[in-house]
Amino acid sequence: MTDFYLRFENKEQADSVLYTTTDEITDEEGVVVQEASTKPNFANIDVIGTIYKPTEAVDEEGNPVMEALTGYHINIRAVDGEDTSAIAPFAVVPSVPVRIWG
């Protein structure tokens, strides 16, 4: 197994890489014989989404003001045999990951 930390521009870009959507299939009479479906391209996907970090500022209640980091974040634990070439351009190496595989 290999762990990947990924940063995409947004959820739509992540979904386009991490999931495959099939179109619905109809027969000659136009009857739907298979519904459209979405399947993951990887066995282990951990969606983090937007990551926030505290700034030096505090709000009126004394809580740190949080700032969103750039990107939409997802962790992948690829198992042997999974093709990871599509996610390679999105791989990052965080100094301190927000979440890790246990």
Per-residue pLDDT tens for 8-62?
999 999 999 999 877 677 777 877 767 666 788 888 999 999 999 999 999 999 9
Inside any domain, residue 97: no
Inside any domain, residue 54: yes
Identify the residue whose tokens are 């739509």.
12
The predicted model scores a pTM of 0.75
Q: Could you give the C-alpha distances from 31 to 27, 35, 36, 38, 77, in angstroms and in order?
A: 5, 10, 13, 20, 39
Inside any domain, residue 100: no
Identify residue 1 by its one-letter amino acid code: M
Inside any domain, residue 98: no
Inside any domain, residue 102: no
- Count of structural domains, the chain: 1
Domain carrying residue 6: 2-92
